[in-house]
Amino acid sequence: MPATKAKKPTAKTTTKKVAAAKPARKSEKLVSKPLKSTMMQFPLTITQLFLRGAKVNSNSKVITWAPTGSRITTYAQIAENAGRLANALKRLGIKPGDRVATVMWNDDHHMEAYFAIPCMGAVLHPLNLRLFPDQFDYIVKHADDRVIIVHDSLVPLVARSAKALKRVTDVIIVGDGPVDPNMLAVIPAKIHKYAELLAPESSVYKWPTIAEDDAAAVCYTTGTTGDPKGVAYSHRSVYLHSFGAGLGATIPLTEHDTMLPIVPMFHVLAWGLPFGGWSVGADFLMPEKYLQAEPIAAMITQHKPTMSAAVPTIWNDLLRFVDKNKGFDLTSMKFVVCGGSAVPRSLIEGFLKKHGVPIVQGWGMTETSPLCALAHPPRGVTSVKQQIDYRAMTGRVVPGVELRICDDEGTELSWDGKAVGEIEVRGPWITGSYIGVRAPEKFHDGWLRTGDVGTVDPDGFIQITDRSKDVIKSGGEWISSVEVENHLLGAHGVVEAAVVGIPDDRWDERPLACVVLEEGAKTTPAELRRHLEPLIAKWWIPEYWTFIKEVPKTSVGKYDKKVLRARHATGDLKVVSEGKAAKK
């Protein structure tokens, strides 16, 4: 076949090809625009934690301990009862934002309230059952509680405050124990039995969509001066605190763990442990009202929890009990968290060396949800002595919290382990104000002034030397009452020790050591001074001493030093003098 000639491109075709290949004009530039996130707007709420745990860890358990036999409830059953409780509260007229109070022990029913109330949009208010009556009354009225859920054994506390319950419409009694009808008669609210109230309700509740900044719970400070102050925790802050607390660098927990929260659920939401433990599916061992050393030792031996949390007085009592009584085993615990007040070195040594249980000292407060610092030894620490040195410190600032120390003029100080100043913090679970109370002295420049005084080293380890209101200034120099107390607790026969400043004509203030001895102990001030001589500066050693039956404490177990100062001022303490104040 003859070859065919290729067609010449037409002018039209040629023009198109030239146009397609035409380069961009030099004057044209690419415009760079800010890149916006493509992430979903997902609310961080307790509801998300609750529903996830109920579904994914439905078989995890909440064990409520009793000497006659433990009650075991699964996450799935807790979730069903939370639905019934939410329906019942809605029927009683509870609306989003209403406060529902609890006066309860750590048990499965309290867990039901912990989720039902905030997830329905109301506000959980755990009432401190150890408050003085006037403080209890003040808080009930200030929070404007509408419903109170109370354990049958604690009804007398509610009845005692009957005059403060004018806006409370309903009181729900948990348990089947006997209740004095005379007490019920004085309560100006409708009385319901928990089981009967929930029985007709559906376990299915249409949980509403909640804004993450809505209030989920409220707790009140237990300060030793002035009225208690309310702190409202948002859903977002609780959610983030749960995640922050569950990091490997803080309180590492998984569904393989069993948690024993001895710290009361009315004390800063049990340090966030109910929400944090639920979020990972850990089992709970709840002590209910059995908070003495013997039942705690028994429940640990029986159910073998892997971690626990409580104030130092609880661990002191437990250590003395198990050391004197055979048949109890604490070795299941990988660690225990101890906070609320400074942890004595002798207590840390006793648990680690005698029972192989590490104590992790923690620091925080109601205003901080409470997690701020935990005393995990850093990398490279191998010897037991080094471990104890770090565990005896206040703690290392945790991820999610920013911290600084400032002098009296507000100037930020160095993290050199030497500069002493007031500790200030900020972060996503740190409160920015109190409920209905202006406190400019506590909040400034976006930071919370904690009132704790101490140092921070270059690695972020905090050492609190005192509360600002408890520091002892002697001859123009500071004495750390906390450090003196911790060393006294290592002396033979000493059970408790609190050190306060008292007036002195020469030095302005000198330390008064208030000591509690074991029954039968004959330890003298001279022996205690000799014990302190190699441990602290000579001029820190007290020359004034008093022996008392018990150190007065706040409702959450902290030393109430204002009571000791008042007792000294009125001559109620028998003070003896031993030695003289050394020169600096």
Q: Which residue has the tokens 């206040």?
A: 394
Q: Which of 95, 473, 538, 584 is catalytic?
A: 473
Contact 433, 441 (CB under 8 A): no
- The Cα–Cα gap between 130 and 104 comes to 11
Contact 451, 439 (CB under 8 A): no
165-203 burial, b at 16+ Cβ within 10 Å, e below that, comes to: beebbbbbbbbeeebeeeeeeebebeebebeebbeebeb
Phi, psi values for residue 342, rounded to 5°: -60, 140
Asked about 473 being catalytic, the answer comes back as yes
Asked about 553 being catalytic, the answer comes back as no
Contact 26, 33 (CB under 8 A): no
Identify which of 147, 258, 139, 134 has the alpha carbon closest to the alpha carbon of residue 197.
147
SS3 content of the chain, % helix, strand, coil (to 5): 30, 25, 45
Q: Which of 221, 224, 301, 523 is catalytic?
A: 221
Q: Which of 201, 367, 483, 543 is catalytic?
A: 367
Identify which of 84, 63, 90 has the alpha carbon closest to the alpha carbon of residue 75.
63
- The Cα–Cα gap between 374 and 560 comes to 24
- The Cα–Cα gap between 393 and 462 comes to 7
Q: Which residue has the tokens 């040594």?
A: 349
Residue 300: what residue type? I
Query: Structure tokens of 4?
Result: 């065919």
Contact 103, 196 (CB under 8 A): no
Asked about 447 being catalytic, the answer comes back as no
Q: Which of 478, 523, 539, 562 is catalytic?
A: 478
Asked about 415 being catalytic, the answer comes back as no
Mind telling me the catalytic residues?
221, 367, 473, 478
